[in-house]
């Protein structure tokens, strides 16, 4: 099975438990207003690579992972290459490697189910809480996201829900409380992460010659983000 790889981060510390190797795959159907990786949108970009070869590349970093680390596959949207991720995760699990899927929860559910059979953890980006906001700021569907999240629950795959906090957009106290209620409705929830909005991606957009929709939005204050986190329900793991 051949997929398209954007890049590898050898020592990721914020993409799941422990120290992890992170594979960024090409292709994404969404256009999120705060996306940091516009260079991964094009499904024909990156480089072709076989699943077995990518597994070999990732396993080179195994000595750094310790007991809690492993491999995270992200993007782009990795479920656009579901068969490739399924094969990659099958190989990695056969080597005793912890596998994490970082996803916007977009893609064919049947294909996603096959990936989840070989997934130890899902990092789910729950971006907004209404269909209107998903359409306006992501060109996506909240209903599709919820279908995927319920699938992870039915399959018993541990779930971390992540949410980018953007000033004036997703930083209201009632919004965060509603996020907490939605996240807590999934029995497989293990953690909620609030990710403060940053603009480190600006240079990428300028180089690619495309506008960054939130260029005039201020970055999220770290202290304010911590204060909002205290509004969330307590779960098994927190950050």
Mean of pLDDT values over 206-233: 96
Q: Give the separation between CA 106 and CA 29, rounded to whole angstroms.
A: 8
171-212 residue pLDDT tens: 999 999 999 999 999 999 999 999 999 999 999 999 999 999
- State yes or no: pLDDT of 238 exceeds 70: no
58 token code pair: 């990732």
Whether 150 shows a pLDDT value over 70: the answer reads yes
> Which pLDDT band, with edges at 50, 70 and 90, does 236 fall under?
low
Average pLDDT over residues 124-129: 97
What is the average pLDDT score of the chain? 96
Query: Across 18-175, where does the E strand assignment appear?
Result: 20-25, 47-50, 70-74, 98-103, 121-125, 159-165
SS3 readout for 140-187: CCHHHHHHHHHHHHHHCCCEEEEEEECCCCCCCHHHHHHHHHHHHCCC
pLDDT in tens, 42-58: 999 999 999 999 999 99
- Over residues 31-46, the pLDDT tens digits come to 999 999 999 999 999 9
Structure-block tokens of residue 172:
């209201």
CB 4 within 8 A of CB 47: yes
Q: Are 41 and 201 spatial neighbours (Cβ–Cβ below 8 Å)?
A: no
- Average pLDDT for 145-153: 98
Instruction: Name the strand (E) or helix (H) holding 11.
Output: strand 2-12
pLDDT band at 235 (very low <50, low <70, confident <90, very high): confident
Query: Residue 21 — φ and ψ, nearest 5°?
Result: -85, 135
Average confidence (pLDDT) over 214-226: 96
Whether the per-residue pLDDT at 81 is higher than 60: the answer is yes
Query: At residue 237, does pLDDT exceed 80?
Result: no
2-238 carries CATH number 3.30.9.80:
no
In this structure, the number of other CB atoms found within 10 A of the CB of residue 175 comes to 18
For residue 217, is pLDDT > 70?
yes
**Residue 94 CB neighbours (<10 A):** 10
What is the pLDDT averaged over residues 91-102? 98
Residue 125 has pLDDT above 80, yes or no: yes
Residue 225 tokens read as 């983000």
Are 68 and 17 in contact by the 8 Å Cβ rule? The answer is yes
């Amino acid at each position: 099975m051949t997929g398209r790889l954007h890049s590898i981060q050898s020592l990721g510390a914020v993409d799941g438990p422990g120290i992890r190797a992170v594979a960024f795959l090409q292709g994404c159907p969404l256009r999120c207003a705060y996306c940091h990786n516009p260079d991964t949108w094009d499904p024909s970009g990156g480089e072709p690579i076989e699943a077995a070869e990518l597994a070999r590349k990732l396993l080179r970093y195994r000595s750094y992972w310790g007991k809690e680390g492993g491999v995270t596959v992200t993007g782009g949207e990795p479920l656009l290459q579901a068969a490739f991720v399924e094969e990659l995760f099958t190989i990695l699990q056969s080597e005793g490697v912890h596998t994490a899927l970082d996803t916007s929860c977009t893609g064919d559910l049947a294909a996603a189910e096959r990936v989840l059979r070989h997934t130890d953890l899902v990092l789910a980006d729950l971006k907004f809480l209404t269909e209107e906001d998903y359409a306006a700021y992501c060109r996506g569907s909240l209903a599709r996201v919820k279908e995927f999240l319920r699938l992870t629950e039915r399959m018993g795959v541990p779930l971390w829900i992540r949410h980018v906090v953007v000033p004036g957009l997703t930083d209201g106290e009632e919004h965060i409380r509603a996020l907490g209620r939605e996240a807590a409705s999934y029995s497989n929830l293990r953690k909620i992460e609030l990710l403060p909005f940053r603009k480190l991606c600006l240079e990428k957009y300028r180089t690619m010659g495309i506008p960054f929709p939130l260029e005039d939005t201020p970055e999220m204050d770290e202290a304010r983000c911590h204060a909002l986190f205290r509004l969330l329900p307590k779960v098994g793991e927190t950050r």
